[in-house]
Structure 1
Amino acid sequence: MAHTPVNHPARPIYRAIGGLVGLYFVVFGVLGLIASAGSDIFAQDDTKVLGQGTNLGFALLSIVIGIAVLAGTAIGRNLDVAINQFLAYALLVLGLAELAFLRTDANIFNFTILTDIVVLTLSLVLLMVGMYSKVGTDEEKEAWQKARLVL
């Protein structure tokens, strides 16, 4: 993909932003786990954490997503790029599906509109982080620069 920046000068900042997104998911998941302890895994009640609706299932999913993002950020070597992009697309699909089922019984993760906005926003942030934190050789960077100048 010649249109994806390689060795972007702000790459460390983007990786830090990705780490903060992962940390947010872990903190939200742990707080959601505490708040929804004792209820069903896909309970549809008024459990809220940080103003967002959640249940045990979404709390566990948030912890897994956060740990995956943090692990990818710690390892680096373009593994973080793959993890961030995959999870960004998965979160976009989840957010749009939950938006469609927001006021129905199919709202298995107990989303509210605020939860949906946060998930969709964080998915776009992860996508941005994944696209700007790619590391490559000098030849790949030069190929990207030449392709960018052609456009």
Structure 2
Amino acid sequence: MAHTPVNHPARPIYRAIGGLTGLYLVVFGVLGIITSTGNEILAQDDTQVLGQGTNLGFSLLTVLVGIVVLIGTALGRNIDVAINQWLAYALMVVSLAGLAFIRTDANFFNFSITTVMVVMAAALVLLMVGMYGKVGSDDEAEAFQKARLVL
């Protein structure tokens, strides 16, 4: 994308924020697995972890997403940018679907309002990290600066 900054001066900070977001997702998921062990995978009960409604299925999904974010952060080289952006969009869809089905039998991930807000916040953080973490050559950075000045 031409409007995405290349070699942003704060990209190490954004990369660290992405790693911390992935770490939070893994910790939440592991705690959710521990708390909901013995329940059905998509149980709709009062299981809560860190104030958020969850079940074994959502906890497993959260661990998987967190590990993918951490792997992308460790690899870098714009792989993390693509991973963070795509997972951000996926988490937004999951969050909005959870909000739409929160008081119905279709609430498969046992979402609460707090869960919706935290998942959406994590998605927005990952999207921001993906937007400002792009790395490129000096020529690409110069081309971005020239295009930015034209706009």
Aligned position for 2:48? 48
TM norm structure 1? 0.99
Alignment: residue pair count: 151
Aligned position for 1:63? 63
Look up the equivalent residue of 1:61 and give its one-letter code. L
Aligned position for 1:12? 12
How far is the alpha carbon of 1:19 from its aligned partner?
0.2
Look up the equivalent residue of 1:45 and give its one-letter code. D
Within 1, Cα distance between the matches of 2:14 and 2:56? 30
Which structure 1 segments of 5+ residues have no match? none
How far is the alpha carbon of 1:2 from its aligned partner?
1.3
Identical positions, percent: 75
Within 2, Cα distance between the matches of 1:114 and 1:70? 24
How far is the alpha carbon of 1:72 from its aligned partner?
0.2
> Does residue 112 of the first structure (1) align with residue 100 of the second (2)?
no
Aligned position for 1:82? 82
Query: What is the RMSD computed on CA atoms of the aligned residues?
Result: 0.4
Within 2, Cα distance between the matches of 1:63 and 1:76? 20
TM norm structure 2? 0.99
> Does residue 30 of the first structure (1) align with residue 30 of the second (2)?
yes
